[in-house]
Amino acid sequence: MSRFLKPSLVLVSLIVTASVSANLSRPALASGKSEALSQWRSKSSIILAASSELDDVLKQAREQADAKNYPSALSLYERAATLDPKNARIFSAIGFLQSAQGKFQSALSSYQQAIVLSPKEADFFYGLGFNYANLGQLDAAITAYRNAVTQNPRQINAQLGLGILLSRQQQYDAAFQAYQQVLKTDSKNTAAREGIGFILLEQNRPDDAINVLQRALTFDAKSSRANLGLGIAYLTKGNPSSALKYLDQAAQLDPRNPSIQVQIGKVAESLGERDRALDSYQRAISLNSQSIEAYQAIGDFYYTQSDFGNAVRSYQNVTRLNPQDGDGFYGLGKAYQSQNNRDEAKQALQQAKRNYQTQNRQDGVQKVNSTLEQFQ
Is the pLDDT higher at 62 or at 40? Answer: 62
Q: Is residue 155's pLDDT more than 50? A: yes
Q: Is residue 28's pLDDT more than 50? A: no
- How far is 243 from 240, CA to CA, in rounded Å? 5
The phi-psi region of residue 68 (left if phi > 0; otherwise alpha if psi is between -120 and 50; otherwise beta) is left
pLDDT of residue 36: 44
Q: Is residue 332's pLDDT more than 90? A: yes
pLDDT of residue 359: 83
- How far is 25 from 87, CA to CA, in rounded Å? 18
Residues in the chain: 376
User: 5 pLDDT band (50/70/90 cuts)?
Assistant: low
User: 227 pLDDT band (50/70/90 cuts)?
Assistant: very high
Mind listing the pLDDT tens digit for each residue in 77-131? 999 999 999 999 999 999 999 999 999 999 999 999 999 999 999 999 999 999 9
pLDDT of residue 7: 52
SS (HEC) of 114-161? HHHHCCCCHHHHHHHHHHHHHCCCHHHHHHHHHHHHHHCCCCHHHHHH
CB neighbours of 124 closer than 8 A, spacing ≥ 6?
88, 92, 111, 114, 115, 118
User: 187 pLDDT band (50/70/90 cuts)?
Assistant: very high
Looking at every residue in the chain, the average pLDDT score rounds to: 87
Q: Is residue 30's pLDDT more than 80? A: no
Q: Which domains does the chain have, with CATH numbers?
A: 292-376 (1.25.40.10)
pLDDT of residue 52: 82
CB neighbours of 28 closer than 8 A, spacing ≥ 6?
none
pLDDT of residue 4: 56
Tell me the chain's radius of gyration from C-alpha atoms: 27
User: 201 pLDDT band (50/70/90 cuts)?
Assistant: very high
3-state secondary structure of 339: coil
User: 42 pLDDT band (50/70/90 cuts)?
Assistant: very low
- How far is 42 from 40, CA to CA, in rounded Å? 5
pLDDT of residue 6: 55
Q: Is residue 17's pLDDT more than 90? A: no
Mean pLDDT, residues 171-176: 96
User: 366 pLDDT band (50/70/90 cuts)?
Assistant: very high
pLDDT of residue 53: 85
Distance of CA 295 to CAs 78, 89, 289, Å? Answer: 42, 43, 9
Cβ atoms < 10 Å from Cβ of 369 = 12
